[in-house]
Amino acid sequence: MEPKKHQLATLLKPAKEHGIDIKPRQARVIGVFSCKGGVGKTTTTANLAMGLTEKWGARVLTVDANLGAPNLGLHFGELTPKITVHDAIANEMPIEDAILEVQGVKGIFGSIAYEDEVRLVDLRELISPLRKKFKIILVDSAPGIGGEVVAAMKACNEIIIVTDPYVPTIASTLKTFRAAERYKVPILGVVVNRVAGDPFELPMSEIRKALGWPVIGVIPEDKKVREATAAGIPVIRYYPRSKAAKEFERLADAVIERMKK
């Protein structure tokens, strides 16, 4: 016997009305941090965003959380983004409306021209509505371990720590480890960038020992990276055959591998 129309309508009610509460999948928020500036956080974020977008398509988003001195946009040649994270904070418009697409990569960028003092925002709450739309959200952080950095760290499910192979950087990198420990944010791995193999660099074995954490990427010092930054195109697209580009590709694969765990 065929079920009556009204019985069917009851059956076909949305799951929620049946009392079934299915949580939507939430993006993993992965932040890129380092205590020192200039070690390659933004370069790493931009290349990872592009590498992961190429592998995963539209479900990758990158967000500039360096609200005081944003420059993630510059790495994509986006000098004056028409909508910025600052607009979302100031006008309290939906953060989704600040998503732009540059070179095929989805991102929320900062306003370089922004000169007012940036108030401390709850970044976790700000980006929370984006989590059901993406698989991964890559957050580019400011250097140091000040309030802005802590707010960014608290928004992350896990973080990547970038360092270079020099003693002062390694020493300050330990502070980022401490902050991650304090705020109970797991560390996905360490990226050692700008490795030239000079005798005055700390050897990789010493860096591994000092940090005691898995190194998921070793990126060489490569002039092509600086050229790519100046051109506003991440090196994995600008010079895909360069040594640095190949290592950034490998890093994207390593992140994908770790996300499966």
Least spacing, CB of residue 33 vs ligand ADP, in Å: 9
Which region, judged by CB under 6 A, interacts with ligand ADP, from 2-10, 104-112, 210-218, 219-227?
A: 219-227
Q: Which of 219, 245, 251, 252 binds ligand ADP (CB under 6 A)?
A: 219
Residues 175-204 as x/- pattern, contact with ligand ADP by CB under 6 A:
------------------xx----------
Q: What is the DSSP letter of 139?
A: E
The tokens describing 149, both together, are 């950095």
Is 75 one of the binding residues for Mg ion (CB under 5 A)?
Answer: no
CA dihedral 191, 67, 91, 158 (to 10 degrees): 30
Residue appearing with tokens 């330990």: 174
Q: Please give the size of the binding site for Mg ion, defined by CB under 5 A.
A: 2
Is 237 one of the binding residues for Mg ion (CB under 5 A)?
Answer: no
Q: Which of 37, 57, 68, 203 binds ligand ADP (CB under 6 A)?
A: 37
Least spacing, CB of residue 233 vs Mg ion, in Å: 17
> Is beta strand 105-108 parallel, antiparallel or unpaired with respect to 100-102?
antiparallel
Residue 57 identity: G
Which region, judged by CB under 6 A, interacts with ligand ADP, from 123-131, 150-158, 184-192, 225-233?
A: 225-233
Paired with 173 in beta bridges are none
Residue 76 burial by Cβ neighbours in a 10 Å radius (0-12, 13-18, 19+): buried
Nearer to Mg ion, 36 or 41 (CB): 41
The tokens describing 185, both together, are 């944010």
What does R_g of the chain's alpha carbons equal in angstroms? 20
Helix axes 41-56, 243-260, angle to 10 degrees: 70
The H or E element containing residue 101 is strand 100-102
* Ranges within 240-259 binding ligand ADP (CB under 6 A): 244
* Ranges within 40-69 binding ligand ADP (CB under 6 A): 40-43
Nearer to Mg ion, 131 or 222 (CB): 222
Please name which of 94, 99, 106 lies closest in space to residue 136, comparing C-alpha atoms.
106
Which region, judged by CB under 5 A, interacts with Mg ion, from 42-50, 169-177, 227-235, 236-244?
A: 42-50
Give residues in contact with Mg ion (CB under 5 A). 41-42
Give residues in contact with ligand ADP (CB under 6 A). 34, 37-43, 193-194, 219, 221-222, 225-226, 229, 244
